[in-house]
Amino acid sequence: MPQNQNQGKAYHDSTKHSYLSVQINPNYVDASTQPIAFKVYPKFYRRVTLNLNNPIHAFIWLTSAVTSEKLYKNTPDKLRVNPSAGALYPTEVYIQIRGIEGMINGIYHLEVENNCLTLIYELIDDGLESYIIPNKSINGFIFLISCVYYRSSWKYQDRSLRYCFLDSGHHLGAIAASAYLHNKDIQLIFDFDKLALNTDLGFENKEFITACAISGKVQDQLVRRLRLKVPFVCGTDYFEANQFIEYSYQVTALHKSKHQKLKQPQFNFDKDKFQQIVWNRRSIRRFRKQFISQENYLYVLQQLEQPIPTESGEDVEIYSVLHRVEGMSPGLYKGTLLLQTGDFSEQTGYLCVNQAIARDCAVTFFFVSDYTNYQTAMQLAGFLGQRIYLGSNYLGIQCSGIGAYYDDETRRFLETTKDILYAMAIGI
């Protein structure tokens, strides 16, 4: 178990990949044993079918929608607006709705597979605000992101907590994209009493809250904590506990992030085109080793420079390894600053556990941080990753997230002492 003062650092160090560790544990799984990826409450719960002609319903639906289905070994995989490591989809979404015409004030589970909201708790004078923003009330929406961790640990074992946090960040990015398309501002909140909320939502040890996003009018008003515990429904058809993951989540939930001023991003996408991009976003599995333009590469960087709408600050730096960008020398960059010239495509492919996508793409990104709060930093990395997905796809450039890399060798390559949180590849 991690024991040093920075529990996030201890967990991260405990789950590093190296060439030797990957060879010793190649991590093969029996696909027939995969747990289900959709949580469903009993049939007697009240449900609201999402009507896409209703702007409120459309806003909610696009945060998590199933956008495609493909067969893998005769088993249908339902793909969503939010990417997920291994397409395992550990994240769930709960939405508190208050003061919205035609909707009961309550906490709903977004039942993605069946395109509906399930009312799991009706509000009186209580609500989620007291856990998240005490002494305030929100007329509007509170989106809670949770992770059913066994969906991921089934395959990725102890390292899966990294993927849960990254997937949570991507899901927040999907909420932000829907908010942009529906002309709504949101605020991401990472520092709140997650452990108490897990208890009162009845999650036991099988699911945990990672973050939330609020959208609506904030008012000064005392809201008490949930008067009743929400009945528990397991998000998988079977479950195997991982005490290392549960402990690591709990201790990393206690640290606070650095405070920063809340700023809203200012994007200028064509909304009709952007909506199609959100709908059609996919992770590419192969690149054709073609060049992208310097203009498009710089455009993707510009999207990353937009503020993240949160008061929870963590510095996430992004290195770029350029392989095929017209008018720019191949090499290692930080922003637009060239740090080292060279063709590093073979090296980045090796560092990303010999994945061809990191070798054959136009650009490989590495996200690094010397974080205060590990959970926040990882989720911000996922959130920025979602921006890269949508920003590059908007230009007709393909993208894929990469969660597997040789941690220490990648740090040496980048010449940084900070931890590697994530990698991404873009190209054609």
CATH number at residue 405: 3.40.109.10
One domain for residues 80 and 166: yes
Overall domain count for the chain: 2
pLDDT digits (tens, 9 = 90+) for 108-148: 999 999 999 999 999 999 999 999 999 999 999 999 999 99
- Confidence band of 26 (pLDDT split at 50, 70, 90): confident
Confidence tier at 240 by pLDDT (50, 70, 90): very high
Return the pLDDT at 70: 81
Confidence band of 358 (pLDDT split at 50, 70, 90): very high
Crossing angle of helices 160-181 and 374-394, rounded to 10°: 50
Establish if 266 belongs to a structural domain.
no
Q: Is residue 198 part of a domain?
A: yes
Confidence of residue 73 (pLDDT cuts 50, 70, 90): low
pLDDT at 267: 97
pTM equals 0.97
Clarify whether residues 68 and 216 are in a common domain. yes
Task: Provide φ and ψ at 219, rounded to 5°.
Answer: -125, 150
Q: Does residue 211 lie within any of the structural domains?
A: yes
pLDDT at 3 > cutoff 70 = no
Distance CA 250, CA 194 (A): 9
Residues 276-310 as b/e (b if ≥16 CB within 10 A, e otherwise) read ebbeebebbeebeeeebeeebbebbbebbeeebbb
Q: Is residue 399 part of a domain?
A: yes
**353 pLDDT above the threshold of 50:** yes
Nearest to 196 by CA among 128, 143, 107, 257: 128
In a domain? residue 271: no
Claim to verify: residue 233 and residue 362 sit in the same structural domain: no
Instruction: Please indicate, yes or no, whether residues 300 and 223 belong to a single structural domain of this protein.
Output: no
Question: Is 15 contained in some domain?
Answer: no
- Average pLDDT estimate for 299-326: 97
Look at the block and give the residue holding tokens 């490591």: 85
On whether residue 40 sits in a domain, the answer given is yes
The packing angle between helices 374-394 and 7-14, to 10°, is 60
Distance CA 315, CA 384 (A): 12
Q: What is the pLDDT of residue 4?
A: 40
Task: Output the pLDDT for position 16.
Answer: 98
In terms of domains, do 130 and 210 share one?
A: yes
Residue at 16 is within a domain: no
The mean pLDDT value of the chain amounts to 96
Share of the chain above pLDDT 90, in %: 94
Whether 359 and 234 map to the same domain: the answer is no
Please give the share of the chain, as a percent, with pLDDT higher than 70: 98
The helix/strand/coil state of 139 is strand
Residue 312 sits at φ, ψ, to 5 deg, of -95, 105
pLDDT at 393 over 70: yes
**pLDDT mean over 245-258:** 95
Q: Is the pLDDT of residue 413 over 90?
A: yes
Handedness of CA 332, 281, 111, 109 (dihedral sign): positive
**Domain extent for 397:** 283-427
Q: Are residues 355 and 223 in the same domain?
A: no
Of 193, 187, 229, residue with least CA distance to 209: 193
Regarding whether 407 and 312 lie in a shared domain, the answer is yes
Both 249 and 392 in one domain: the answer is: no
Task: Give the confidence band of 1 by pLDDT, cuts at 50, 70, 90.
Answer: very low
Cα 359 from Cα 67, distance rounded (Å): 29
